[in-house]
Structure 1
């Protein structure tokens, strides 16, 4: 797994400021008020900081961003970053400041004087997340990055929150690594092995192979992988950190590569289909975070791992498959395979664990990108309470999410001439009919959310806290949901 940078916290030591090597950073309020570290740097640099904050340049710097001074006179540091930040910043502002620090830092050592500014753990989280780089498969010599030292007024009080923040960062990194991996590396077996290795951090992990899945009746899931040499699997991860209450269930679509099957996708852009296991990646990252921070909650994460390939054994358009629930599905389009994976796993989760609520995640439809772009995931739910709690958690973590409609009129579009339902409902409202399909496998009175993350799981441009590629969207929001609503 991509390593987190080392971030240490220590009580403010102004005597070490002048001799700090590498990169140095200080925080200054928008009105230019300097704290003790700022005043010390200002004296050492012969009033350079004061001249900056009194200039027009400072007015153009946005909150959470900074102004760089190269080779500042009077300091041992190679460069100084003056970051504009409120003394009591919002979560978003603090993490944005951390991201600015990560870009400034590069591979060099960084010393940050945070003084009495609030939300130091969020600054550290932003720093860690934006420093992520997926370079596993580059053969050129890699430069080892150095760590960061954060001087603050009360490091002992900050430490527990910072440890939680780093547990979240590690879960995000785990998700990003999984989504960024090429499909020849992240096979269904390799994916399952990486999840099984999380037994070492306290998760209870069980891997179900194809004979076990056949015995359970997961025929729709198995039908997706019929054309692949990689065996289909379901991995069950349990974190039992709460009392005796039933768990929250997280369900993930894990299509390690999606050619579309017999309904073959166009060649252009197919290389991006390595990210079609994004839902399973997010579930895995959340479970890692919960274990690392020892969450006082019961959560089960279940992912269906398959590969959708065309071959003589592959499922054909027009085939009729019986689900674990017992309903029959006419497969109109083999490229609408994610819902066939999810429906069996969702039914299994409800039958075995009787969860208090269920959330599935999937890079399910291109239609959700047409509707919401790359700014928001689509949220579909039968529960105002659960969807409201999730949207609040996503808002708190600044992870974009937007609730979409469900309704009987959309459901009617799934009518099949030969089976209980078709797996697609036509071009119109494609993301909604996909959610309607899944809702047929949600038991009565089971609070449920479907998250279509096709637009947010992996993107072509950098985001506030991630380079281009996998974002890790959803790990922070779901961890927040568990913290706020399910911890004892």
Structure 2
């Protein structure tokens, strides 16, 4: 898997500035004030730094933004990156500044002059998050960045503050790798094997094979994968960090490793992006990895349904009727509305087996949520105001966009079937909502539940503050924060 760029924390040593290779990033507060080491840097640059700080170009920089001064005289470095970050900056702005630095790291190494900035730990988190690059399938010379050194006045204290964030970065990178992998690599076999390997971190991992799923009555999930050469699986990951015997929080993820749409086949244009249709399962896996790495004091179970939706002579057809583990029958109107069939059975299994204190599911479920919210926000649906509000608060604290969507009986009525208990689609209008209403039918009475439709946020076509274009890892930060704030002992 991809690993974060190594970041070391070192006491400020002005003597190394002249000989430092690669890049030097220097934090500048409001008004252009400089610390002692930064003033030394300016002296080595023959006043070029202070002259820039007095320019109109610096005045236009917003907090968290940066400007390069290329090949500065008096230094061995290829560039000095001037980063605007006020002393009173919030965590989000510090991460943004780190992202700017992380996007432009040098293979010769990068020295970040943070001195006594109170947000140095958050800055390092932003650097690590943005320095991600997915390269396992590229040939030729790798251009990995060199080590990053944060020069700070109190390196041990900053390193201690940054330590827990390292587990978050690992979880996000694991999620991004899974979402970015092509489907000929990330089969259901490979996906399950990667999750099984996390037992080394202390997770209890169990893989349920097709014969077991058939015995459990998971007809909805198994119907989706009938046209694929690779078998469907359910992987259960348990983290026992809380009080013994206390009910866990259940996280459930859709893991369609490739979605052709089945017999209701998708258009060819853009189908290559359907390698990301396992994004919900990837987020669940990334959260479980983070919890294990930081030894979270909570009981959490992560369950993912792994299938491939392919069209062949055995594939389910529009008009077929399948029976869910719950016992309800479903008329399959559109085989491209397959994710909700997978989730229906895994949601029921999670509640039936673990009796959790709450359930949160994640899925790249509908194109309709992209129409509604674009790529800025995940759609949030819930039957429980307290759990939903806690999640929205956690997402806001971590800078992960989320917006609560409505639900109601009128939407649920659109799922009525002439020949079965329900249809798997309810028409084009309100498509993300009717999908959520479908899932709600598989949530037991009085069970707090949140559904996250991440179709627009799991993979994006342009760089974001903390990620290059491609997989974002959206949701790992928010769910980790929710667990820390609400469920840890």
Q: Same fold (TM over 0.5)?
A: yes
1:444-483 map, 5 Å: 444-483=445-484
Which residues of 2 match residues 122-133 of structure 1 at below 5 A? 122-133=122-133
5+ residue gaps, structure 2, are none
Tell me by how many angstroms 1:201 deviates. 1.2
3-state DSSP class of the match of 1:31?
helix
Task: Tell me which residue corresponds to 2:113.
Answer: 113
Secondary structure of 1:121 counterpart: helix
Q: 2: CA distance between counterparts of 1:107 and 1:429?
A: 49
Cα RMSD of the aligned pairs, angstroms, is 1.0
Q: CA deviation at 1:187?
A: 0.3
Does residue 124 of structure 2 align to residue 135 of structure 1?
no
| Residue pairs, 1:26-425, within 5 angstroms | 26-244=26-244, 245-425=246-426
CA deviation profile, 1:316-356 (whole Å, cap 9, x unmatched): 11111110011111111110000000010000000111111
Give the C-alpha shift of residue 104 in structure 1: 2.5
Q: 1:487 maps to what in 2?
A: 488
SS of the equivalent of 2:303 reads: strand
Whole-Å Cα distance in 2 between the matches of residues 191 and 352 of structure 1?
Answer: 23
Equivalent residues of 1:68, 1:82 under 8 A apart = yes
In 2, Cα distance between equivalents of 1:104 and 1:224: 43
What is the CA distance between 1:140 and its match in structure 2?
2.0
Return the alpha-carbon distance in structure 2 between the equivalents of residues 234 and 282 of structure 1.
15
Per-residue deviation at 1:16?
2.3
CA–CA separation in structure 1 for the residues paired with 2:342 and 2:107: 41
Number of residue equivalences: 488
For residues 342-391 of structure 1, give each alpha carbon's deviation from its aligned partner in whole angstroms, at most 9, with x where no partner exists: 01000000011111110000000000000000000000000111110111
**Would the aligned equivalents of 2:234 and 2:305 in 1 still touch at CA under 8 Å?**
yes
C-alpha deviations, 1:80-102, integer Å up to 9, x for none?
11110011321111111111111
Of 205-214 and 97-106, more deviation after overlay is shown by: 97-106
Q: Which runs of 5+ in 1 are unaligned?
A: none
Distance 2:383 2:221 in 1: 24
> Take 1:103 and 1:281, find their aligned partners in 2: how far apart are those partners?
24
Asked whether the equivalents of residues 105 and 145 of structure 2 are also in contact (C-alpha less than 8 Å), the reply is no
Task: Supply the distance in 2 between the matched residues of 1:388 and 1:144 (Cα, whole angstroms).
Answer: 40
Three-state SS of the structure 1 residue aligned to 2:113 is: strand
Distance in 2 between the 1:160 and 1:51 partners? 36
Call closer, same or farther: CA 1:144–1:468 in 2, change over 3 Å. Answer: closer
- Where 1:255 maps in the other structure, the secondary structure is strand
1:18-53 Cα offsets, whole Å, 9 max, x none, are 222221111111211111122111122122111111
